[in-house]
Amino acid sequence: VQWCKPKDQDCYSPAVLCRDMDEDLETFKMLKELYPNRIQLLRYEDFMNDAVSKAQVITEWVGMNFTSSMKSFITKNTNTEINKPWTISRKSKEHLLHWTRTLSLGDLHEIQDSCARTMEKFGYKTVNSLQNLSAEDVFQDI
């Protein structure tokens, strides 16, 4: 992201980000133990990969009905690309692996070296190449 500069370790350092994610996961586990029916874990990538299904699960989990208009809205806005900063319409499955087209192999190795344990905890697989990756190559269930 443009606002994140190399001198700002809070957003630029993979090790710092992964440490923060580890802390977030520990907090989640603590809250899940205290409030087992009141908190859920949802990875961004899982939602991007199957927005309708995940939205239905969340909607029903909070006690609402998942309606056909909700499904239509989500389907339309996750399968349409409007390249404007203010829009919510994105082909979410295409954006899911966008990083494989923009990240250098050196940056990939730095991230994986710094974050191996965190990646494993969150169900992210390590990869050796950025070529022809699918969601199954990168993510596993947690």
Structure confidence by residue, pLDDT tens digits, 103-132 = 899 999 999 999 999 999 999 999 988 888
pLDDT digits 0-9 by tens, 33-67: 999 999 999 998 899 889 999 999 999 999 999 99
Alpha helix stretches (DSSP H) within the chain: 9-12, 14-34, 44-49, 51-61, 68-78, 92-96, 99-102, 105-121, 135-138
Residue with tokens 């190795």: 109
How much of the chain exceeds pLDDT 70, in percent?
93
Model pTM? 0.77
Q: What is the mean pLDDT of the chain?
A: 88
CA distance 8 to 1: 12
Residue with tokens 């070296």: 113
